[in-house]
A and B are shown apart, each in its own frame.
Chain A
Amino acid sequence: GESVGLHLPTLSVQEGDNSIINCAYSNSASDYFIWYKQESGKGPQFIIDIRSNMDKRQGQRVTVLLNKTVKHLSLQIAATQPGDSAVYFCAEKSSGYALNFGKGTSLLVTP
Chain B
Amino acid sequence: DTEVTQTPKHLVMGMTNKKSLKCEQHMGHRAMYWYKQKAKKPPELMFVYSYEKLSINESVPSRFSPECPNSSLLNLHLHALQPEDSALYLCASRATWGTGELFFGEGSRLTVL
A and B found bound together:
no
B interface vs A, CB < 8 Å? Answer: none
